Amino acid sequence: MRLTTLRTTAGTRAARIDGARAVEIDAPDLGALLADPGWRERAAAATLFAKFPEALNGPGDPITLDPASAKIDGEAELAVVIGSPVRRAGEEQAAAAIAGFAVLNDVTLRDWQYRSAQWLQGKTFEATTPFGPELVTPDELPGGVRPALELRCTVDGETVQAANTADLVFDPVQLVAYISTMITLNPGDVIATGTPGGVGHARTPPRYLRDGARLVTAIEGLGVQRNAAQAAVAVPA
């Protein structure tokens, strides 16, 4: 395994080097990653994951804080929406398959995310992932299918993430081409492109969403989400 620290416009980020690709890891730098006794598993697990539709909710809906977790964290991200079926796409095909972009917050249950080498279980709890408010086609955006848009996320009025989508390690066209090597992407499929630094889990001390917290996620040209974190009531066994 090869590891490094990337320097980005939003700060630094630990990453795993896979050939010519750098895969970001949820840590602000390599030193912070190595301070975690489970760093090997975290570094190896930095990869693609899926979400089920039940995880999605609206741009103004409450974010469910499930009682199974004490470490729920937001991740502002650019979402790519697929507009036509595509498999084994080259760059031109991948670009043509992009219908547009939207705002997404990849809210994650960190304690569940790291229970195993696979992140799925921490990424797809129900009603945790605000999506929307609009799909905006590439012709409306600077940069087109590789949009250059300011992204910002605040929690209770404090800015926790600020970056530009032009600085993504893997741009939307690259992601469509890569994922379509494995599976057919179909109209309506959504790809979350990754989050910039500033997430609560990587802070010292960590900062997680609490009942009543106000999360605002905005991407220039795509709109704003305003979501309140809301504790779910545990159902007796």
User: What are 5's strand-pairing partners?
Assistant: 14
Residue type, 87: R
Q: How confident is the model at residue 82 (pLDDT cuts 50, 70, 90)?
A: very high
| Predicted pLDDT at 114 | 80
| Predicted pLDDT at 99 | 98
| Predicted pLDDT at 178 | 87
Cα gap 63→85, rounded to integer Å: 31
- Number of Cβ within 10 Å of residue 112's Cβ equals 20
Token pair, residue 128, equals 């945790």
Domain ranges of the chain: 1-47, 49-231
Question: Mind listing the pLDDT tens digit for each residue in 12-71?
Answer: 889 888 665 677 787 889 999 999 887 887 777 668 889 999 999 999 999 999 999 999
**Within the chain, where are the H helices?**
30-34, 39-45, 91-96, 110-113, 120-123, 172-179
The count of residues in the chain is: 237
Distance of CA 142 to the CA centre of its chain: 21
Over pLDDT 90: what percentage of the chain?
Answer: 68
- In this structure, is the dihedral angle defined by the CA atoms of residues 217, 55, 190 and 40, taken in order, positive or negative? positive
Question: Mind listing the pLDDT tens digit for each residue in 136-182?
Answer: 999 999 999 999 999 999 999 999 999 999 988 779 999 999 899 99
Token pair, residue 148, equals 């250059």
Question: Mind listing the pLDDT tens digit for each residue in 187-224?
Answer: 999 999 988 888 888 788 899 999 999 999 999 999 99
Token pair, residue 155, equals 């929690």
Question: Mind listing the pLDDT tens digit for each residue in 86-126?
Answer: 999 999 999 999 999 999 999 999 999 888 767 789 999 99
Residue type, 114: Y
DSSP string, 96-125: HTEEEEEEEE--EEHHHHTTSS--HHHH--
Residue type, 71: K
The residues, ordered by sequence, that sit 6+ positions from 141 with a Cβ below 8 Å of its Cβ are 101, 147, 149, 221
Mean predicted confidence (pLDDT) in 67-87: 96
CATH second-level architecture of 49-231? Alpha-Beta Complex (3.90)
Q: How far is CA 134 from CA 22, 178, 186, 215, 233, in A?
A: 30, 25, 19, 18, 31
